[in-house]
Structure 1
Amino acid sequence: MKKQVLIFRCTILNDMINQKHLFALEEGITYLNGAAYGPMLRTSIEKGTEGMLLKAERPFTINPHSHFEPAERVQHLFARLLNIDNPQRVAIITAVSYGMAVVANNLHRLPNIEAKKHIIQIQDEFPNNVYAFERVSKQLSLTYHTIARPDVLENRGQIWNERILNAISHETAMVVVPHVHWIYGVKFNLEAISKRCKEVGALMVVDGTQSVGAMDFDVQAIQPDAVICAGYKWLLGPYSIGLAYFGAFFDEGVPVEESWLNRMNSENFSQLIKYERAYRPFAQRYNAGEYSQFINLPMLEDSLTQILDWGVNNIQEYCKQITQKPLEALVSMGCSLETEAYRGHHLLGISLPQGVDNAGFTEQLLSNKIIISNRGVAIRVSPNVYNTEADMWALVEVLEKSLG
């Protein structure tokens, strides 16, 4: 049976066939909430169980290689996913907040930092990416420069992107920006932002949590200084593990913690009391403590392997196919969302027709076993390859009933 599943993995999505059979989703639920929590693959659960039993039943089989080789495989997979030329620039972290803490810990090292005045962020950013820099901003006498979301829906993505580019100046220390906005689904032009940052000597730090795994992200083309991703959303991994890319600026930087695993020759357990001052190369100093997670790493390795087999472009195309016609119906009923040129197909921030309450509509959907997110100013609908077009039509039907 396992061999058959592996064959499906490599071939089936190119024909745009639904993949729900590979997931452990509860039957009878229409799950359109992958931007909140990605469900788990059945094979990932098996890998996690094996890892749990390794520690519980066979701890005597754990050896030095057990601490490093699974992590290296995950780093190589993530490097393939983002077109990173050196897997050692990938760090294994616990959460986006950890990766942002690495950035905050190193901002003082930016050349000419004393001449910088502000950090650029966008309005309605995810809290992690705001809280992370409050302390260091005070220490370095920096202020937040928040780029307002346009009040108009027409050309909102284009206008917002233009506002960011126009705000970047020689007084900018850093731009912190997502690839896709976590509420509105607006896509930001990272290549243009990165280019402008380099012109003025600013860092560009990207929260890739709501895109990486479902949308193409090319580090070679974008040239960001850091990309930080939670593992439990579009990477389909477990909670409390994530991945981060750190570029050349961080090569000789200051880690958040001093884990013994991150030092040179740490795989030689018989020599650990010969304390080593040198770090392992590139981003390996930023791996979180106890990153050799015997349960979470094998699960994330499995999900990354599956995503690469599917191909993120195929995932995007599949989401487009299953949402296109239902979205046309929603718009005809008075809903609005970002134009296609400035959004992905996997995360849709939808404004409901006037008079329809977001919270009430979300509860109506829930009573019909349809799961989305209410994000206050919009509802967020986020399908993936375990969904079908019928799932989207089920949402449309509930709205039709709401409108009477």
Structure 2
Amino acid sequence: MLASQRELFEIPRHICYLNAASYSPLPLRTREAGRAAVGRKATPWTLDASFAGEQYERARRAAARLISADAADIALIPSVSYGVATAAKIVTIARGSRVVVLENDHSSPVLEWRVRAEAQGFTVETVNRPDDGDWTSAILAIVERPGGPPVGLASISSVHWSDGGLIDVQAIRAALKRQGAMLLVDATQSAGVLAMDVQRLDPDFVIFPTYKWLLGPYGRAFIYIAKRHQGGVPLEQTSYGRRDVRAENAVYFADLRYVPDARRFDMGERDHFISMEMASIGMEMMADWGQGAVVQRLSMLTDRIAQDIRGLGLSAPDRTLRAPHILSLGFKGSMPTGLIEGLASEGIYVAARLGRMRIAPHVYNDEVDADRFVAALTRRLKD
């Protein structure tokens, strides 16, 4: 089993950080790279002319590696919401069709479609949170509902951010294909941890940021765009999205045709000399550990916690229905007031999400962290 990687982070022993699903700490290596990058920005005359391009392509390759994609199918973007807006500009949702979203899914894969629905003549249908925690079956029931309007698009997370519900995107994709419908996956809570092969899945779009499970900075995200959509018009018009618009040319606008792959969708102002390298390092570390090894370690920790809290009157999704790296706990009635804050006062950090407690360990956590959390939670619930 992959050992705890705590020594690669600056996490004091008295800190029990179980909140990677909100944001992760930076590895020491990433932090040092950020400091060095700030120094480079302070002295830009020291930058080699090829430096920027090398940074873009390193990050693009690192993101592609996580989902078994071709780097040419990856665009550099600042956020998931930017990616969804890009997708919404590229595709056309047929009038009279449905866009399927999840109840209380994060705002990014939902709000863009709600804004566009009335003007474009489609409806947004929400899959209610299933009582049994089986999101996949609930989505399939909506998609395949007899007599319902055709589905144009499912815009869903691969792991529900609030309860850790695991969604079988392969099964969802198969159902959508039978209707000729598209699939957009917000992989924020799964990229780098859970295996995804876009060659096999054949989604239309996959989007993820780096500041959570990928151990990176804010403001860096990536979108996979299937080749069938790469002829669309980008959200922003940039020189590098065109074949030959260059300051060093004698004629600036020499060739206004778009570049032929997903690079045309790169965000404007992409010269993030500081955070781009930081993002690459975290993604490369995750890929080097391997998704199988990471899942094995994190499922061991969440299973250990789930086993040890039995008898406290808490509810958790069935192991087969939850993501292996997120454990969401429900309370009889409501969560005790001040519980999250009380744990934080002891150096134990978890998150409250929609009335539940979300525990999200990462590779820097170990069995000591898991046992300490259980002991503190038990004491506070019994007091």
TM class by shorter chain equals over 0.9
2:367 equivalent to 1:389: yes
Quote how far apart the aligned CAs of 1:301 are.
1.2
Quote how far apart the aligned CAs of 1:306 are.
0.8
Total equivalences in the alignment: 381
Quote how far apart the aligned CAs of 1:64 are.
4.2
SS state at 1:239 partner = coil
Query: 2:179 matched to which residue of 1?
Result: 200
CA contact (8 A) 1:64 1:268 kept: no
Q: 2:77 & 2:11 partners in 1: Cα distance?
A: 26
Give the one of 335, 359, 362 matched to 2:340. Answer: 362
Query: 1:38 matched to which residue of 2?
Result: 24
CA contact (8 A) 1:261 1:289 kept: no
Query: 2:115 matched to which residue of 1?
Result: 135
Quote how far apart the aligned CAs of 1:142 are.
1.2
Query: 1:259 matched to which residue of 2?
Result: 238
Q: 1:37 & 1:328 partners in 2: Cα distance?
A: 25
Q: 1:167 & 1:291 partners in 2: Cα distance?
A: 43
Q: 1:170 & 1:199 partners in 2: Cα distance?
A: 14
Quote how far apart the aligned CAs of 1:206 are.
0.3
SS state at 1:285 partner = helix
CA contact (8 A) 1:358 1:379 kept: no
Quote how far apart the aligned CAs of 1:272 are.
6.4
Q: 1:242 & 1:167 partners in 2: Cα distance?
A: 34
Q: 2:63 & 2:251 partners in 1: Cα distance?
A: 29
Quote how far apart the aligned CAs of 1:396 are.
1.4
Q: 2:371 & 2:138 partners in 1: Cα distance?
A: 31
Query: 1:182 matched to which residue of 2?
Result: 161
CA contact (8 A) 1:170 1:200 kept: no
CA contact (8 A) 2:24 2:216 kept: yes
Query: 2:52 matched to which residue of 1?
Result: 67
Q: Identify, as 1 or 2, the structure richer in helix.
A: 1
CA contact (8 A) 2:246 2:252 kept: no
Q: 1:359 & 1:315 partners in 2: Cα distance?
A: 34
**One-letter code aligned to 1:163:** A
Q: 1:358 & 1:33 partners in 2: Cα distance?
A: 19
Q: 2:78 & 2:238 partners in 1: Cα distance?
A: 14
Gaps of 5+ in 1: 1-14
Quote how far apart the aligned CAs of 1:282 are.
1.5
SS state at 1:174 partner = strand
2:110 equivalent to 1:126: no
SS state at 1:278 partner = strand
Q: 1:361 & 1:167 partners in 2: Cα distance?
A: 41
Q: 1:183 & 1:139 partners in 2: Cα distance?
A: 30
Query: C-alpha deviations, 1:78-120, integer Å up to 9, x for none?
Result: 2121111x21110110001100110111232x5xx24x42211
SS state at 2:124 partner = strand
Quote how far apart the aligned CAs of 1:271 are.
4.9
Quote how far apart the aligned CAs of 1:334 are.
1.8
Judging changes above 3 Å, is the alpha-carbon distance between structure 1 residues 359 and 226 closer, same or farther for their aligned structure 2 residues? farther
CA contact (8 A) 2:225 2:262 kept: yes
CA contact (8 A) 1:264 1:280 kept: yes
CA contact (8 A) 1:316 1:344 kept: no
Q: 1:88 & 1:267 partners in 2: Cα distance?
A: 21
**One-letter code aligned to 1:122:** L
CA contact (8 A) 1:82 1:218 kept: yes
Judging changes above 3 Å, is the alpha-carbon distance between structure 1 residues 75 and 396 closer, same or farther for their aligned structure 2 residues? same
**One-letter code aligned to 1:210:** Q
Query: 1:104 matched to which residue of 2?
Result: 88
265-274 vs 72-81, which moves further: 265-274
**One-letter code aligned to 1:66:** F
Query: C-alpha deviations, 1:216-275, integer Å up to 9, x for none?
Result: 111122111000101111111100111110102321112111011222245773456134
Normalising by the residue count of structure 2, what TM-score does the alignment of the two structures yield? 0.93
**One-letter code aligned to 1:348:** L
Q: 2:251 & 2:76 partners in 1: Cα distance?
A: 22
CA contact (8 A) 2:299 2:325 kept: yes
Query: 1:10 matched to which residue of 2?
Result: none
Normalising by the residue count of structure 1, what TM-score does the alignment of the two structures yield? 0.89
Judging changes above 3 Å, is the alpha-carbon distance between structure 1 residues 145 and 157 closer, same or farther for their aligned structure 2 residues? closer
What is the RMSD computed on CA atoms of the aligned residues? 2.0
